[in-house]
Structures are given as C-alpha cells and as structure tokens.
Structure 1
Amino acid sequence: VLEKLDLANESIIHCGHSNGGVVGIGFAAKHPEKVKGLVLLDAVCLPVTKPLVARVADLPLLGDFIVQKMGAKTFNKFAHASCADPDSNEEVKEYLAKQSRNTLENPRFFAAVRSTNAYCLGFAGTAEPLYRQCCEAKVPIQLIWGKADTSVPYSSCVKLHEIAKECETVVAEEAFDGMPHNVFFADAKPQECSDSVCAFVEKIKGM
C-alpha cells in the first residue's frame, strides 16, 4: 500500500481496530523504523475466546453443513453483541440488516470467516511476541478500549499496557465505560476515540 501511494520511504502512524490492530503490530514488528506510532483500538492481540460462529465454521466436514443451518443465526447474535444498543438508531439497524443479508445471501461469507480465523492471531494463537518486539523497538503505542467490549475484553488492554511499561516504551491509554467492540456508531464513542487518536498523533509529531 505504501509503495502504491509513493510513501515507501515515509514513516507512518498505523491505526487499527480489532484484527486491523494485529496487522499494524505485525508491520511495526517487522519494520519498526517505518512506524512513528501504533494506535490499537480493541485489538485482537492476546488470545481470546472465538465467537461461536467462528468455532462452528472451523469444524472439519461438518462445518459447512452446520454453518448452513445455524451460521447466520450465530453470526447475527455476535454482530448484535458488538453494538452498544442494536436498536439505538437507523444507522445501526441498517448495518445489522446488511450483515444478516450477507450471511444468508453471500456464499463466500463463511469462507471469509474461516480465513479470518486462520490469520487472526488472537484466535489462532497470540500476537504477544510481535507486540513485545514493537515495545522493545520503542514504537510509541496508544491503546483505546471499550470497557463494555465482550469480544476483546478490557483485561487485554491492561495486559498490553503492562508489557509496554515493562519495555519502557511510550504508551498511553484511553478506556471508555459503556463502549462495545464496534466503536464506529454514535451509540458507542466515535468522537471520543477520534479525539484520542488526534491527540496521540499531535504528541508523536512533537517528539
């Protein structure tokens, strides 16, 4: 991506949510000289319990059959749980309706779920060694977490903060009461998250 944008020789601040945070960790661990800072929003970095839909999709042979019968229902339950209030406004309702249609109508949907399972280190193992590499390379880190996140609990944030402090790297944390895993709707904390990211960017620019 950086090469396509003619930014291959530039250093960046990577901001990633959920599994996107793990992508940033992997890049920063491999290329710390290219990363000015790392923003992790509810990142699936440490081992977490797979959602039921993910465990079902992983089953050999029986997986396809079971997914056809109950996959949509279990995924929709997971999608609802990721929102603070599924009935809060039309934007959230439309998002959940699209997710529901996708599970029922897109034959490649659960193949994508399996792919995510395989490459998401929080599901398939742990990204802690890579995260430690980032910290040891003194990559500044901003942790943004929802205390109501049931997918990637706040205890993960506490652990990541402790690791960063052990490695004596610059680390900041913002944790919000009532914020679920999905941070992008008005019923969560989108403005607060945005303000936190902007403050971190300004701090990094001044270092």
Structure 2
Amino acid sequence: MAILKGVAATVAAIFLILLVFYWAAGRAKPVLDADSRAALRKQGLAHAFMDLPDGTVHYRLEGPSNGPLVVLVHGFSLPSFVFDDYVKPLTDAGYRVLAFDNYGRGLSDRPAVEYDANLTDRLILNLTDKLGLTAPAHFVGYSMGGAAAVIFAARHPERVRSLTLIAPAGLGIAPKLKEGVLARPVIGEWIARMFGLRIFHDIAAKDAQAAPDPVRFLADFDRQMDYRGYGDALVSTIRHYPLDSAQVDYAEAGRSERPVLVIWGEADETVPFSASQKLMALMPRARLHSYPGLGHNIAFSRAPLVTGLILDFLAGQQDVTMGAKTPMRIEARPAGNGAAPEQR
C-alpha cells in the first residue's frame, strides 16, 4: 500500500509539474497589444489595424480608390505577407487590393474562441463593411484561404464578383494535418505550447527555401510567433475549421455563374491535387490551371506566374459574358519556364 501511495504521489507531482510548465509556456510570450502594434508600425513592420467585434485585425489596403477590389485571403499558417509580391502587379493594373491577417495569425488578435469558418467569415464581412468596401469584389484565396473565400461566396453571393482559388483546402488535406498529434485533445495543446514554435519554424524554414527572399520570408513568418496565442490558434483551426469538409459550400458557390479560376501544383503534398477532381465536379464552370512538378508553395514560389494568371483572368471578365454556359478546362504542361498552360 505504501508503494502504491508513493507511485500515486509521484504521478501527481509529475502531472503538477507538467501542468505548471504548460501554463508557463502559454504565458511566456507577450500579448500582442496596442503598444506592440504601435512599435511594429514605427519599425515599418506593420500596415494598418482595425478594431472589429472579435478582435483587432492587421490589414493592408492599397491601390486606386475607384479600382475594382481584390481581396487576398491567406492560408493556415502563413499570414498575409505571403501575398506581398501580388500587391504591386495588381495595383499597377488599376485594382484596389485588400490583404489581412486572419485571427490567430500574423499581427491580428488571438481571441480565445473556436477557430472555425464562422470566425473567418465574420472577419471578412466586418472588415470590408467597416472599410466601406461593400461592392462585389474579386476574391483570391490560397490553401485554407481558398476554402474561406468559397464559404464567403456561398454565404454572401452578392459580395463576390469572382473567385481565384490557389491550391484550395476544404475538399481534402494531408492526413498528417487533420489526424496528427496536434488534432488530439490535450496532447495537441501540450505539443503546440512546448514544442510548437520550433516545429512551425522548421516547417517555415523549409518553405522559405522556395521563396524569392528566404531570409525575409522566415523573418516575416517568425514575427507572428513573438506573441502569445499563435500555436493555440492553429490547434483550434485543425479541430474546428472544415479543412476537408466544405463540400456543401463548394457546391453552393459552384451553382453561381460567377467566374472561377483554379491554380494548383500537381506535386502538392499539403492539399493533394487529386482534390481538384472534386472541385471541378462541384464547380463545373471553373477554369483549372495545373502544373506538374510544382507543390503547395506555388503561391509564393511562382508569384509572377500566379499573378499573371490572375491578371489575365480578371481582364478577361471585362470581355466575357458571365452568363456563358461553356466552362473552360485548361490543360497543364511542364512549368519550367513559368509559362501558362495552353488553353483548349
């Protein structure tokens, strides 16, 4: 009996120690507050901030005030800096561009809520409303941002003029993301707080190798981890966001006659290219560009290619009747020279 009591006491002590470490790890980073944001703006590391019902959001709005609006929606872990190379080509072409950090990412707040589709939907609606940008806009969504754009279009069809989906989530993701240790109750939070920042940094460091400026890419990524709540937000997103179960929203958005452009790397291991078959079945009017040998990083590793496709797509809408009934399928060809595939 004494041995059992000793074992129980040891287990209780270990549990208490782990609990203390877990609590301390969650508070080790400073809170992203008004003073932090002011300092970031002074250093030229932030653009603008807006207070919304769910928290403060970091955003960037550039281009002619009378230009058609393009809304850029980033993905799961990379905040809005992933679109930095999109802003100048789009604004130079006469578009007004809005990019923002989703809650829990970048320099936006990390509210203690479930990170589900409703949260992102409210952010987009509240931010565009408060900025007075209520006219139909062109939405560009990358990865999880693709799912967010589709869900927004399904719920608010009057606010979406066209969709560009770059390796969009919502119809399928790598099992290691949805079924990995971060998705498990208790264990996920523990891993995220104790080891998550190192894990996330290492993944980003690998992604940075494909970026035009790897050093800047990694510095921009790591900046969001200087503040409390990033890891917790990702864990909550894995559990509550429809990363692989947004079929109803794709079908609803697909019933519209709005133009849809899809861009995908066929070697994508994060959001497998095989999901494009589901997408094209649900959105039969979509135009698909796919590239052998390119992966999930196509959005930033081949930014000139992607922005060129987007600009052609947007320009073409001025000449193509939205009621046209014939969808355009686009055959892929090797993308070694960055050229677009042939249209047939």
TM bucket, shorter chain: 0.7 to 0.9
Cα drift, residue 6 of structure 1: 2.2
What is the 5 A alignment of 1:1-207?
Answer: 1-8=127-134, 10-51=135-176, 55-80=180-205, 83=207, 86-87=208-209, 91-96=213-218, 99=221, 105-122=226-243, 125-165=244-284, 170-185=285-300, 188-206=301-319, 207=321
More helix by share: 1
| TM-score under structure 1 length normalisation | 0.78
With 47-56 and 59-68 compared, the bigger mean Cα shift is at 47-56
Q: Contact 2:139–2:162 (CA<8 Å) still a contact in 1? A: yes
Relative to structure 1, the CA distance from residue 33 to residue 199 in structure 2 (aligned partners, 3 Å threshold; closer, same or farther) is same
Q: Contact 2:189–2:235 (CA<8 Å) still a contact in 1? A: no
Relative to structure 1, the CA distance from residue 134 to residue 59 in structure 2 (aligned partners, 3 Å threshold; closer, same or farther) is same
- Residue 140 of structure 2: SS of its match in structure 1? strand
Cα drift, residue 128 of structure 1: 1.0
Q: Which has the larger radius of gyration?
A: 2
Q: Mind listing any 5+ residue stretches in structure 2 that lack a counterpart?
A: 1-126, 322-344
Cα drift, residue 135 of structure 1: 1.0
Query: What's the RMSD between the two structures over aligned residues?
Result: 2.7
Q: What is the distance in 2 between the residues matched to 1:51 and 1:143?
A: 24
Q: Contact 1:56–1:71 (CA<8 Å) still a contact in 2? A: no
Q: Contact 1:26–1:130 (CA<8 Å) still a contact in 2? A: yes
Identity %: 25
- Residue 283 of structure 2: SS of its match in structure 1? helix
Q: For this pair of structures, how many residues does the alignment match?
A: 194
Relative to structure 1, the CA distance from residue 21 to residue 111 in structure 2 (aligned partners, 3 Å threshold; closer, same or farther) is same
Cα drift, residue 160 of structure 1: 0.8
- Residue 138 of structure 2: SS of its match in structure 1? strand
Relative to structure 1, the CA distance from residue 198 to residue 90 in structure 2 (aligned partners, 3 Å threshold; closer, same or farther) is closer
Relative to structure 1, the CA distance from residue 111 to residue 62 in structure 2 (aligned partners, 3 Å threshold; closer, same or farther) is same
Q: Which structure is higher in RCO with an 8 Å CA cutoff and minimum separation 6?
A: 1
Q: Contact 2:269–2:296 (CA<8 Å) still a contact in 1? A: yes
Cα drift, residue 133 of structure 1: 0.4
Q: What is the distance in 1 between the residues matched to 2:303 and 2:229?
A: 30
Cα drift, residue 102 of structure 1: 5.4
Q: Contact 2:264–2:298 (CA<8 Å) still a contact in 1? A: no
Q: Contact 2:138–2:160 (CA<8 Å) still a contact in 1? A: yes
Relative to structure 1, the CA distance from residue 174 to residue 110 in structure 2 (aligned partners, 3 Å threshold; closer, same or farther) is same
| TM-score under structure 2 length normalisation | 0.50
- Residue 163 of structure 2: SS of its match in structure 1? strand
